[in-house]
Structure 1
Amino acid sequence: MSKLIDLQTQIAHLQKQAEEIRGKEFEATVTEIRQKMQAFGITIKDLQATKVKSKAGRKPKVAAADKPAKVKKVTAAVAAKYRGPNGETWSGRGLTPKWLSSLIAQGNTKEQYLIPA
């Protein structure tokens, strides 16, 4: 037999064993859960609750849907302060744009591209 067929046979055998073990452990797990539910007085309704009671005085985590939406600040547009040879503009705020950086690297100055007020 080829190695592939041997491996596939082993896989099928192991999957069958896994299902058998799962079936045996399933009943034991369900029994254990029922015992713990009875010991702690937990009901199905408790399990279906949306919020979990806090532990040791900690506040429960707030779901994302319960948090108020963040309001984004609206800022006014800033007029362009610099204009490049191909019509590019820059307000002078933030990082220097690539088009201006490359012009400065070629020996030009920022002041050459200032837009007259």
Structure 2
Amino acid sequence: MSKEIERAEAITWIRVQMAHYDLTIADLADAGCFVDRKPSPQPARYRNAEGQTWDGQGAMPDWLQRAVNAGQSIEFFRIG
């Protein structure tokens, strides 16, 4: 079964359940269904002389990548 079909079936199921229980989007929001679950920001682990920082998560920022490509150790920029 393709992802598109599975997705369409899931949406249909959700709509049926909402109708059956007389639920609205507001009811779901009040129940916390749409809470932003992004992780809290991590403290900076690396900093350059201009004050630019990176927490070590995700892709290395351009400023740090350029320094590393130029031969500088990443540990040079480590905080603490």
User: Could you tell me the TM-score, scaled by structure 1's length?
Assistant: 0.40
Count residues in correspondence. 57
Alignment partner, residue 76 of structure 2: 112
Runs of 4+ in 1 over 6 A off after TM superposition: none
Mind listing any 5+ residue stretches in structure 1 that lack a counterpart? 1-58
TM-superposition CA deviations, 1:1-33 (whole Å, max 9, x none): xxxxxxxxxxxxxxxxxxxxxxxxxxxxxxxxx
| Cα distance in 1 between the residues matched to 2:79 and 2:68 | 16
2: CA distance between counterparts of 1:89 and 1:98? 11
Determine which of 55, 58, 67 is the counterpart of 1:103.
67
> Rg bigger for which structure?
1
Does 1 or 2 have the higher relative contact order (CA < 8 Å, sep 6+)?
2
Identity of aligned residues (%): 29
**What is the CA–CA distance in structure 1 between the aligned matches of 2:49 and 2:78, rounded to whole Å?**
11
